[in-house]
Amino acid sequence: MKIRDEIKFILNGRDITLNAFKAEQTLLEFLRIDQQLVGTKEGCAEGDCGACTVLVGRLVNGGLKYEIVNACIRFLASLDGCHVVTIEYLSGSNGDLHPVQKAMVECHASQCGFCTPGFVMSLYSLWMENPNPSKRDVEISVQGNLCRCTGYEPIINAALSVNKFGNPTFDQLNTERENIINKLSRLQDDARVEIGDDNNKAILPANIDDLAQILEDRPNSTIVAGATDVGLWVTKFLKPISPVLFIGQLTDLKKIEVNDDMLTFGAGVTYTEIQDYLSKFFPFLENYWDRIAGWQVRNMGTIGGNIANGSPIGDTPPILIALNSDIILRKGNQIRILPIEKYFIEYGKQDLQKSEFILGIRVPLQSNNQLNSAYKISKRREDDISTLAVGISMNIENGLIKDCRIAFGGMAATPKRALVTEGSLKGKTWCYEAINEASKMLNEDFSPLSDWRATKEYRMTVARNLLNRFFLEHDLEIIEPIQLHAGF
């Protein structure tokens, strides 16, 4: 096994090689303090406000894909082999403004200006992918950017007008694309990367076998995939996380496969990477997916990580439980398959052995008789953590509820099935009365807590209402089912 003791990446137009830095050093610290690139701002330091938005380009199937990320919670070590693009790279060498910047100026889209560099980066990414966006496309592209004084209207107007100021074909990231691909390809060497001494160590395993081996040798390692949760352990709780195993770069963990009746994907697959598959095989999740954080987080965060951290309010576990998914675990050379609901034992405790890690997730494809919905309730429509979330899946045959699975997040100390409610529904006629009666059973399944997101009474009432909403949206008797598009 070849071991490399430095990371290499491209920062704007420069090659960077680093061999000594803290395992938990963030990209934002590196940019602002080490490199004095202070155009990228620190707002919340938790991946929420988007003031620190930068582009990270990486090789994907031989091509080069640029995505916006939050530099504040992106760890420096995870940039090995990437191209980092900051606000400083946008203006031409003669000081000419970039088309996105011109549009922002012309549309009066800045006031205090603090969030502006982040917005420019998000709109830059949008313009490169989609030069003629709809208003909805723009709104989704800036879900992860908060502005508290200018107002979103001029920013959206700017986004809609960027194409008047330039064509992305002539943008430097496109004209230099081949050159960057060649440079990044030369950096790929299939080596394990180890930075630092035993007190402070960052490791990028070479492949999955190597990851399994390192976890055997160092069972107390912190595994970091997208860092959208672990990043906060560092920036908010100042928690030491060394030794850190970075797995986001492992292409073996990013495989997505569809066979006859299963969608199987690796633990390193991000929300963005799975999106097309979900639209195709689980179209009911399309709207739900836009409710998960913002683009910056969806580009980094993984579904594997969302499960692994065991949070009771993760966005995906209730849905995956309702869809009867399994997780695939690996320890050494041993593989273990576990129904995902069994993984969550109690608050802070999961069914994960020493040196074991989540390898992948498999979700059964749906039959024609199956009705599915996913709902998320949060204080803010975009870019927020759920107050409660629910996945509901019912199998209706000949007007009867043959089977059903209902799983809630935010109603207990773990993501949890409503087994009593499910039991009371099985065999019943699919009708409003049956669903409404069953929704009253939810208090036998759950005793939710009051916290600053919601009171226990609110949680219970909303949970019942969501079950009724499920009926109204799916009622087969109604010729045009009611589609409730309200944000909350």
Alpha carbon distance 333, 352 (integer Å)? 15
Q: Which residues of 212-234 are buried (b: 16+ CB within 10 A; e: fewer)?
A: bbbbeebeebbbbbbbbbbbbbb
Residue number, 45 or 462, with CB nearest to another protein: 45
Cβ 151 to another protein, closest distance in Å?
A: 13
Residue number, 99 or 415, with CB nearest to another protein: 99
Residue number, 56 or 115, with CB nearest to another protein: 115
Residue number, 68 or 308, with CB nearest to another protein: 68
Cβ 293 to another protein, closest distance in Å?
A: 24
Residue number, 98 or 417, with CB nearest to another protein: 98
Cβ 73 to another protein, closest distance in Å?
A: 18
Cβ 457 to another protein, closest distance in Å?
A: 38
Cα–Cα–Cα angle for 199, 202, 205, nearest 5°?
135
Cβ 30 to another protein, closest distance in Å?
A: 15
Convert the chain into a string of H (helix), E (strand) and C (coil).
Answer: CCEECCEEEEECCEEEEECCCCCCCEHHHHHHHHCCCCCCCCCCCCCCCCCCEEEEEEEECCEEEEEEEEHHHCEHHHHCCCEEECHHHCCCCCCCCCHHHHHHHHCCCCCCCCCHHHHHHHHHHHHHHCCCCCHHHHHHHCCCCCCCCCCHHHHHHHHHHHHHHCCHHHCHHHHCHHHHHHHHHHHCCCCEEEECCCCCCEEECCCHHHHHHHHHHCCCCEEECCCCCHHHHHHCCCCCCCCEEECCCCHHHHCEEECCCEEEEECCCEHHHHHHHHHHHCHHHHHHHCCECCHHHHHHCEHHHHHHCCCCCCCCHHHHHHCCCEEEEEECCEEEEEEHHHHEEECCEECCCCCEEEEEEEEECCCCCEEEEEEEECCCCCCECCCEEEEEEEEEECCEEEEEEEEEECCCCCCEECHHHHHHHCCCECCHHHHHHHHCCHHHHCCCCCECCECHHHHHHHHHHHHHHHHHHHCCCCCCCCCCCCCC
Residue number, 96 or 451, with CB nearest to another protein: 96
Cβ 176 to another protein, closest distance in Å?
A: 20
| Residues at the interface with another protein (CB under 8 A) | 32, 36, 38-42, 86-88, 90-91, 97, 100-101, 104-106, 108, 110-111, 113-114, 116-117, 120
Cβ 131 to another protein, closest distance in Å?
A: 19
Residue number, 150 or 325, with CB nearest to another protein: 150
Residue number, 99 or 196, with CB nearest to another protein: 99
CB atoms within 10 A of CB 65: 14
Cα–Cα–Cα angle for 249, 254, 256, nearest 5°?
170
Residue number, 42 or 210, with CB nearest to another protein: 42
Cβ 28 to another protein, closest distance in Å?
A: 11
Residue number, 121 or 340, with CB nearest to another protein: 121
Residue number, 89 or 430, with CB nearest to another protein: 89
Cβ 46 to another protein, closest distance in Å?
A: 17
Cβ 107 to another protein, closest distance in Å?
A: 10
